[in-house]
Amino acid sequence: MALRRTHVPEIRKGDTVLVLSGKDAGKRGTVERVLTNPAALERVTANGSAKGREKARTGYWKPASSRPASVVVEGLNISKRHTKPRQTQGRTDRTPKIQQGGILDIAQPLDMSKVMLVCPNCKEPTRIRHTVLDDGRRVRVCSHCDKAIEVTA
């Protein structure tokens, strides 16, 4: 049985975030992807079987992962990837396509706890509050300017 998240996520794709720690501390960037850790949603017993809401009779309970999610920020936390030129299958057998080798710059995921959302209205890094509107929707609200934060992407 898969457990579903019912809360509104604090950081979404397209949000502007500020990096709090690490080599890119103080830099701002746009979130390209939000990666969730499915192991954080379920508990695992000692023999490796997943248990939903049932309590395990034997073994021990592993705590949920301390890293429930991470984000890939455009242009930040860059690592170098050295690739070899490789021959791949082209459209026809007579014309093989060659993948070019070289050094690629790849943005690596950052832990969600190392970034902070920047409010698009007041341009300040802020903590997020959640409120329910009159029509029943749950929205994220800036704690500085009390305005709803809309997704730009």
Query: Over the stretch 86-106, which tens digit does the pLDDT of each residue have?
Result: 887 766 667 667 788 899 999
**Cβ atoms within 10 A of the Cβ of 110, count?**
23
Q: Name the residue ranges covered by the structural domains of the chain.
A: 16-142
- What is the Cα–Cα distance from 31 to 72, expressed in whole angstroms? 6
Query: Over the stretch 23-36, which tens digit does the pLDDT of each residue have?
Result: 999 999 999 999 88
Q: Which residue has the higher pLDDT, 82 or 43?
A: 82
- pTM over 0.75, yes/no: no
- Token code pair at residue 47: 């023999």
Least trusted range by pLDDT, from 8-12, 41-45, 95-99: 41-45
Q: Which residue has the higher pLDDT, 45 or 151?
A: 151
Facing residues of 140 across strands?
A: 130
- What is the Cα–Cα distance from 110 to 52, expressed in whole angstroms? 28
Phi first, then psi, for residue 26 (nearest 5°) are: 90, -10
**Cβ atoms within 10 A of the Cβ of 80, count?**
8
Contact 16, 28 (CB under 8 A): yes
According to the CATH classification, is domain 16-142 in 2.60.120? no
Q: Which residue has the higher pLDDT, 4 or 95?
A: 95
Residues 6+ apart with CB under 8 A from 100: 85
**Cβ atoms within 10 A of the Cβ of 143, count?**
11
Query: Over the stretch 125-143, which tens digit does the pLDDT of each residue have?
Result: 999 998 988 988 888 999 9
